[in-house]
Amino acid sequence: MLAIFDVEGVLLDAEFLPILAETINKQDEIWEITRQGIKGAINWEDGLRKRIQLLRGIDFETCKQVADSLRVMTGAREACYALKAAGWKIMAVSGGFTIMTDRLKDELGLDYVFSNELVFKNDKLDDVIIHVDSDKAKSAIIKIREWKERKDDIVVVVDGANDVKLFDICGLGVAFRAQDIVKDLATVTLEEKDLSKLIGIINKHYGLNIRPQTIA
């Protein structure tokens, strides 16, 4: 069994670039492009490159401080720990960046993370290398084939229009506090801002009895 999560707005209770943009007072511009991308109103890759261009020159230390400050979503630890204890694999597929996803691998016990990479020159933000584009399923399939996971045994938890192709490769698609287009395509919707509620959804769908984990 395999659970695949989006990161920003799902495993993390924040969007990295808009918060980073606050450090140079460009948050309104960045949020507008971010919203358009999440809704699917613009080409996601073009929108990402445009946002990075607007933020060029911010120093690495500022980027790292912002990345490290992003809060883990309520219930994310409980959900991930419960799935791992039940023998599941967990993957994250993010349009965000290694600077913010690397720590999640350890904190949440993720088996693999696909994400993009910020490029710094002379310690200043300069560009982005896109490994994960708007078709996140292309990335996920790499590990799905390696791990020989069956489609029916895969759960996907996402919130944005750039995530919906992941629904094509899963047996249970969960729209977590999501855009309408995502809700329309999902198997089930979770509106409560608590990822631990995912365990009940999985238990009901698969007839399992995974026990929620209590985090001290």
Number of domains in the chain: 2
Average pLDDT, the chain: 94
Task: Tell me the pLDDT band of 1, cut-offs 50, 70 and 90.
Answer: very high
> Among 69, 86, 104, which residue terminates a domain?
69
- Read off the pLDDT of residues 103-138 as tens digits, 9 standing for 90 and up: 999 999 999 999 999 999 999 999 999 999 989 999
Same-domain status, 20 and 52: yes
Q: What is the mean pLDDT of residues 147-164?
A: 95
Identify whether residues 47 and 88 lie together within a single domain.
no
Q: What is the pLDDT of residue 35?
A: 80
Say what the pLDDT of residue 34 is. Answer: 79
Same domain, yes or no, for 61 and 82? Answer: no
Q: How confident is the model at residue 214 (pLDDT cuts 50, 70, 90)?
A: confident
What is the pLDDT averaged over residues 160-174? 94
What domain range includes position 141? 2-13+71-206
The residues, ordered by sequence, that sit 6+ positions from 75 with a Cβ below 8 Å of its Cβ are 194, 195, 196, 197, 198
The structure tokens listed for 184 are 């329309």
Q: Are residues 99 and 147 in the same domain?
A: yes
Same-domain check for residues 57 and 151:
no
pLDDT tens for each residue of 14-61: 999 999 999 999 999 998 887 887 677 788 889 999 999 999 999 999
Task: Supply the pTM of this predicted model.
Answer: 0.94
Task: Output the CA torsion 114→72→185→188 (10° steps).
Answer: 130
pLDDT of residue 131: 95
Reported as a single tens digit per residue, the pLDDT across 56-106 is 999 999 999 999 999 999 999 999 999 999 999 999 999 999 999 999 999
Predicted pLDDT of residue 186 = 97
Q: State what percent of residues in the chain have pLDDT above 90.
A: 85
Q: Are residues 171 and 97 in the same domain?
A: yes
Residue 175 burial by CB count (10 A; 0-12/13-18/19+): exposed, middle or buried?
A: buried
The answer to whether residues 40 and 141 belong to one domain is no
Q: Does pLDDT of 204 surpass 70?
A: yes
Give the end of a domain, one of 24, 53, 69. 69
Q: Are residues 147 and 182 in the same domain?
A: yes
